[in-house]
A and B are shown apart, each in its own frame.
Chain A
C-alpha cells in the first residue's frame, strides 16, 4: 500500500484465523506473496501435511500454486511476485507441512543481482501518498458497480495463465533452469490410466510413471483452475483413440459430504470432454481417491495399490477414502 513488496507466511489454523484478511487482500488487489505450509485443521489437534487449510480459501480470490520441493518453493516465490504485480492479485505459494517445510534439501539460491534483475524495484500505480490523497476500499452502495468490480477481478484472474507462462519463460532465461507455471504432464499420450494429483504426491507418482500404462499430470496452479490445459491433454486422447480407460485423481483433502476438491474440479473440467468420446466406447471413468490426510504417508506402493484398486472399481460416483489396507469407507 505504500509501494514496498510485502511477504508473509502462515499455516493451518493461522490461515483460518485470518480468513477475513485473505479475502480482503484479494478484494483490495494487493500484490502480496504468502507462503503457506499445508497442515491439518483441528479439532482434534493435528499437525501434519494436509491440503484442507488452503482448500478452504480456494475461493478467496488468490492465485494458488502448489509446489513439490524446496527448490520449487524458492523459484515460485520469485515467479509469484512477477505474476502478482502484473495482475494485482495476491499469490499463495503452497507446500506440504513437514514433507517440504521441515526437510533439508540442497537448493540453488539465485544471486541478489539476478533476483533484482528479474524483479526490479516496484512502481505501483496506486499507493498511499499524502501528496496525492486517495481513498482505498470505500463503501460501494451500488450493487451493479460492486458486481463489476468482482467480475473485473475474475477477468484479471483469467489473464494469469498467460502471464504465468511468460513469467516462467523469463525465469528460465534469467536463471537458467525451468520452473513449471501451470501443469506438468508425462506419458499422457498412450497410457490407459492417467493419474492426477498435486504437491509431493505428484512427485511420488513420478516413481510409478515408468509403467507405460500409467500417465501422470501434476496440477501446480489450482487457482485459477487450468481447465483448458487439462481438457487439451484429455481431448487429444478421447478424440482419436479410445484406449484411455480411467483417470485417477488423488486428493490430500476432503470436503466432507462431497469428496476431494481436485476431483470435483477435474470432473467439472472434463464434463464437456467426456461427451466428445465415441458413443460406442466407454467413457473414461474419473475416480476420486482421498488419501494422506493429516500427513498419512503416501508412498509409491500406496499409489500402485490405488491404481490396482481402480482397475477393479466400477463406480466412480463416490469418492474412495483410502487408508492403510485400502478403501476404508
Chain B
C-alpha cells in the first residue's frame, strides 16, 4: 500500500481564526500517529472537519455521532475491534466541554468506571461555542455567555478529578502554550492501557471575545495565573511535571488574563478580587493534593 504522506490536519478546515481547537487537533494527531479511529460528537469539530463530504483529516478515520455518545460509541468501536483481534488500534474520543462536562458525562463515567481501553480528549473552550456561546459546566466564574448575560455565578466543574475518581490509569490537563508538554503527555497516554482522559485548554475567539493573535498568550496566561492548572493524575496521584510549581514563585494576577477577554469585560474590581481569592484557594487545595506544601505555597509559579 502507498504510504499516506498527507499532513494530519490538511488546509481547508473551517475553524475560526485564532481557534485553539484546530491547533489542538493538529498537535494531538501528530503525537498519536497512525492506527487510530476518531469519534467526534456534536461540537465545533463537527463543523471544523469540513462539510459536504470533505475532510481536513486525510489520515484519520472519523465517525461523527450524537452529542452525548462519545464514550459509548468509542467503547462500541473498541469492543468491535477487540472481537476481531485488532488490539493495536486506539479509539479516540474527541469532544468539547459541553459534550464532556454536561451532556456526555453519563457515557464518560460508564466507560471510565469500566476502565475501557480508549482515549478521551476534551478540548475545553469553556462554553457551548458551536451553538453560539451558551454556558456549560466548564464555563469559568464571571464569564459572560448568552445564557449568563450578567456573568456566570458558578465555579467551573472539576472534571479531571471527577474522571480520576473513577480510578482510571491516566488523566492530564494540557495547554496549547506548551506544545511539547502536550505532545509528550499524549504520546505517554498512548502507551497506557485503560481509560485515558486528557483535557485541553482551548481558547475560543468567538466565545472568549479576544483578538485572534492572543490565542496562545491566553492559553499561557490561563496556566500562569493558576486559573487553568496543568498537571497529570497517574493512578490517582496528582503530579506536576513540565510546569512544576516552585516555592516562593508568584502566580500572575488573574486580571492580566481576564482583561484580554471580552467575556470578562463587565467584571468590577470587587468581582476580580473574589475570583483572585478563589483561584488562590483552589490552588492551595490542588497543591496540597499533589503533596507540594511549603511555607509560602499559596503563590507558586511554574519554572
Majority DSSP secondary structure for residues of A touching B: loop
| B52 and A145 within 8 A (CB) | yes
Residue of B nearest to A136 (CB): B63
Say yes or no: is A325 at the interface (Cβ < 8 Å to chain B).
Answer: no
Q: How far is the CB of B270 from chain A (nearest CB, A)?
A: 44
Segment among B73-81, B108-116, B171-179, B197-205 that sits at the interface with chain A: B73-81
Contact pick for B61, options A6, A24, A135, A141, CB 8 Å: A135
| A24 and B89 within 8 A (CB) | no
| B35 and A130 within 8 A (CB) | yes
| A130 and B89 within 8 A (CB) | yes
Give bound CA distance, A131 to B52, whole Å.
22
Segment among B42-50, B157-165, B294-302 that sits at the interface with chain A: B42-50
Contact pick for B84, options A4, A138, A140, CB 8 Å: A4
Residue of B nearest to A134 (CB): B61
Say yes or no: is A20 at the interface (Cβ < 8 Å to chain B).
Answer: yes
Contact pick for B77, options A1, A20, A137, A141, CB 8 Å: A1
Q: Given the complex, which residues of A lie within 8 Å of B54, measured CB to CB?
A: 138
Residue of B nearest to A131 (CB): B1
Q: How far is the CB of A25 from chain B (nearest CB, A)?
A: 10
Majority DSSP secondary structure for residues of B touching A: loop
Q: Given the complex, which residues of A lie within 8 Å of B53, measured CB to CB?
A: 138, 140
List B63-83 residues whose CB lies under 8 Å from chain A: 63-66, 69, 76-77, 80-81, 83
Say yes or no: is A21 at the interface (Cβ < 8 Å to chain B).
Answer: yes
Contact pick for A2, options B35, B59, B62, B77, CB 8 Å: B77
| B58 and A133 within 8 A (CB) | yes
| B51 and A140 within 8 A (CB) | yes
Give bound CA distance, A3 to B89, whole Å.
14
Contact pick for A130, options B46, B61, B80, CB 8 Å: B61
Residue of B nearest to A24 (CB): B66
| A3 and B65 within 8 A (CB) | no
Say yes or no: is B225 at the interface (Cβ < 8 Å to chain A).
Answer: no
Residue of A nearest to B68 (CB): A20
Known: A24-B66, A128-B37. A138 touches B80 (CB 8 A): no
Q: How far is the CB of A270 from chain B (nearest CB, A)?
A: 38
| B61 and A139 within 8 A (CB) | no
Q: Given the complex, which residues of A lie within 8 Å of B290, measured CB to CB?
A: none
Known: A2-B77, A4-B80, A131-B1. A141 touches B57 (CB 8 A): no
Residue of A nearest to B37 (CB): A128
| A137 and B65 within 8 A (CB) | yes
Known: A2-B77, A3-B80. A128 touches B63 (CB 8 A): yes
Q: How far is the CB of A60 from chain B (nearest CB, A)?
A: 13
Say yes or no: is B60 at the interface (Cβ < 8 Å to chain A).
Answer: yes
Give bound CA distance, A134 to B54, whole Å.
10
The interface bits of chain A over 116-157 (1 if a CB of B lies within 8 angstroms of the residue's CB, else 0) are 000000000000111111111111111001000000000000
Say yes or no: is B36 at the interface (Cβ < 8 Å to chain A).
Answer: yes
List A175-214 residues whose CB lies under 8 Å from chain B: none
| A2 and B81 within 8 A (CB) | yes
Q: How far is the CB of B67 from chain A (nearest CB, A)?
A: 8
Give bound CA distance, A138 to B61, whole Å.
11
Say yes or no: is B55 at the interface (Cβ < 8 Å to chain A).
Answer: yes
Say yes or no: is B34 at the interface (Cβ < 8 Å to chain A).
Answer: yes
| B49 and A135 within 8 A (CB) | yes
Q: Given the complex, which residues of B lie within 8 Å of A128, measured CB to CB?
A: 37, 61, 63, 77
Give bound CA distance, A130 to B36, whole Å.
6
Contact pick for A138, options B60, B64, B66, CB 8 Å: B64
Residue of B nearest to A23 (CB): B66
Residue among A2, A129, A134, A141 with max Cβ neighbours from chain B (10 Å):
A2
Q: Given the complex, which residues of B lie within 8 Å of A133, measured CB to CB?
A: 4, 57-62
Q: Given the complex, which residues of A lie within 8 Å of B4, measured CB to CB?
A: 133
Residue of A nearest to B36 (CB): A130
Give bound CA distance, A134 to B53, whole Å.
10
Q: How far is the CB of A247 from chain B (nearest CB, A)?
A: 41
Q: Given the complex, which residues of A lie within 8 Å of B47, measured CB to CB?
A: 139
Contact pick for B51, options A6, A20, A134, A138, CB 8 Å: A138
Give bound CA distance, A130 to B47, whole Å.
22
Known: A2-B77, A4-B84, A128-B77. A138 touches B35 (CB 8 A): no
Q: How far is the CB of B182 from chain A (nearest CB, A)?
A: 22
Give bound CA distance, A1 to B37, whole Å.
11
Q: Given the complex, which residues of A lie within 8 Å of B46, measured CB to CB?
A: 139
Q: Given the complex, which residues of B lie within 8 Å of A134, measured CB to CB?
A: 61-62
Residue among A3, A129, A138 with max Cβ neighbours from chain B (10 Å):
A138
| B84 and A2 within 8 A (CB) | yes
Give bound CA distance, A134 to B4, whole Å.
13
| B77 and A135 within 8 A (CB) | no
| A130 and B37 within 8 A (CB) | yes
Residue of A nearest to B89 (CB): A130
| A137 and B63 within 8 A (CB) | yes
Q: Given the complex, which residues of A lie within 8 Å of B84, measured CB to CB?
A: 2-4
Q: How far is the CB of A121 from chain B (nearest CB, A)?
A: 10
| B55 and A135 within 8 A (CB) | yes
Q: List 8 A-B contacts (CB under 8 A).
A: A6-B80, A24-B66, A133-B62, A135-B62, A138-B51, A140-B51, A141-B52, A145-B52
12 more A-B residue pairs beyond the given contacts A1-B63, A135-B49, A136-B64, with a C-beta to C-beta distance below 8 A: A24-B66, A130-B37, A130-B89, A133-B57, A133-B62, A136-B62, A137-B65, A138-B50, A138-B55, A140-B53, A142-B52, A145-B52
